[in-house]
Structure 1
Amino acid sequence: MSVEASPAAPSFPSRVYATLLGGALGDSLGYAVEFDTIGVIRARFGPAGLTSFEQLDGDTHISDDTQMTLYTVDGLVEALEWANDGVAADELACLWLAYLRWLATQDVAVSASAPVPQPRWIDRQEVLRHRRAPGNTCLSALASGEMGTVARPLNPESKGCGTVMRSAPFGLIPHISLEAVNKLSTDAATLTHGHPSARLSAAAFSLLVHHLVTGKDIRGAATEALHYVNGLPTKAPELPERLEAALRLSSAPTVLSPEELTAALGEGWVAEEALAVGLYAVLATQGGDPADHFRRAIGVAVNHSGDSDSTGSIAGNILGAYYGEACLPSDWLAALEGVDVIRGMADRLLAVTTA
């Protein structure tokens, strides 16, 4: 009796491309319904809600989630370029300058005290120069001209999902420690959001992606990421509460309805809720072909009365990091805005991490 061979694990480059493209697909589909209630979504698209780009008649856009994710990539790339040339770089300063360059695409007045960053390749990409419902906390923090730090946090009461939705790239740097992933992601989150949950949710997400690209399964990667942040001296009890609920509920035989989902895990407007909803959507729909799993998971992640683009983006990042490009539906990619730019940023990250 022959035994069917297990599919080969995706390559690291495939995981990088798919993490960024998968996140953009979830973001784009979710952005179409971001401010709609589930009742409005069903009225527009039918009982199952929005489950395909074909339902949008070609009107698809990436949001600030993908924009800021790509600028996170660029900040990391700049720091690594300096390091590869033998020059010590301040990673946090590079990320801050990258986010200031993103802010310049949003037509926002910036304090005269802010530094003027040198332009880079990403800044010339017209597809990114659109205002797509950016978060007010990110805008206000960056426009202040001050660099937020743990010792001097900006927006200390804010735990909006603007930190977690942009943090997948911190998990895509190979051969660095868990401590380094945590520090990069939490420091970068503090540039705009000072609440512990905003910072720790970014860390948990980055660590989850890190574990996935090193070959762990999704549930195991999430459990290890949660264990790590639970062991940190900084605490945000709402984060483990939401993630533990996502892990528990996703083991049930049936998928929660959109109403049950937001009642149990929240609407995703704050960091720990967005991560929990995205993770639940991926775990609760596991099985079958990778592309089919992707479609089902993104459907759960975006069809609810909450922050659909961020929860969709997070789910897409997770699936891409796990499956690589095999999970990306070709018809969805054909409808995605800015594919060449997203691939271009992945190329730049790979050039400084795999040479």
Structure 2
Amino acid sequence: MSRCRTIAASADVAAKKGTSMRMPKITVASAAALIAVPAHAQGADAAFTKRLHRIAAQLDLPGFSVAVIRDGKIIYRHEEGVADRATGAPIRSNSLFGIASVTKSMTGIILAQLEAEGKIRLDDPLLAYPLNTGWHPPEGIGDPNITIGDVLSMSAGGLPGETYVYNGARFNLLSGLFDKISGVTSPQSYVVQNRQRLLGPLGMIDTMTGYQKDSPLSARAVKRYEAQPSASGWNYVERHYDWDAAYPASGLISTIDDMAKYAAALDRNALIDEAAYDRLTTPRNGHPYGFGWFTQMGAGTRLHWVFGYGQAESALFLRVPDKKLTFIFLANADTPSALGQLDYADVLRQPFGLAFVDS
């Protein structure tokens, strides 16, 4: 993929659909850069952009933003659609989206750091840490012998450590661990660790740990839309942000550029070393899930990924580690993740992810 944004192709697609698109300003320097890019690379970008647009049109998706990162640098980016259907305000490069369960990958990273520091072990029993019974009644835990690693690997239900069942909410069983480590109660205990270990060190200054309406960042947060079927297609209903903190399972609201910083840090092993990352992404007991990450083969190479599926948002963070290549997808509606049924552990069911892998 080229480093340029596919301006002409994007405008052509928008014109065919009868929609407007905010066009970036082309300076002398950027025009020269376009000339310097090989024609075949520009063509590949144009084809990829057209495919993304076609998928979004089929879903009648309000808006989305994507980027591809290689070796820590953004080599492709594209956004289209609206951040607010009522006003027609466009998605911008610095728009904030809920990333939902993509947060889980960060939780895995944080726990790997804590283990390396000798503060926890993934083999520790869950009940060695405080349990917030308001959120999780004891009878809902299941087997009392489940470990931190069982929760982190989606194998805390059924036979501990052996039965894979994707249950995103059960990640919040880890809240007591963060309470003990941070010395404050949930949900701030997780916020403290995420800011200290990820957001702060990586300079992710455009990420909110939950929706805070008084934050200057809130003005850039996209409106959220839940899809409801109707006789004429999808009927998107606006849903307000209804959480004000981040949790082990979800809750961050971020931008493409901040998520690119996260991808770059993984590429250079800045958060955990390679051995620890390999442990997180290695499927457990023959299941498709490691510690906070899915792993599968696609296009003849390993794919590491995590998805976000909220009431009114979708996200995908897809890595090709052997090529130091990452695809980031953020949307302000639930349809891409809902229709993909990604808890079945196949990222190729998500049409935008499939488009990236095919490219």
* TM-score, normalisation: structure 1: 0.26
Q: Larger radius of gyration, structure 1 or 2? A: 2
More strand by share: 2
More helix by share: 1
| Larger RCO, structure (CA 8 Å, separation 6 or more) | 1
* TM-score, normalisation: structure 2: 0.25
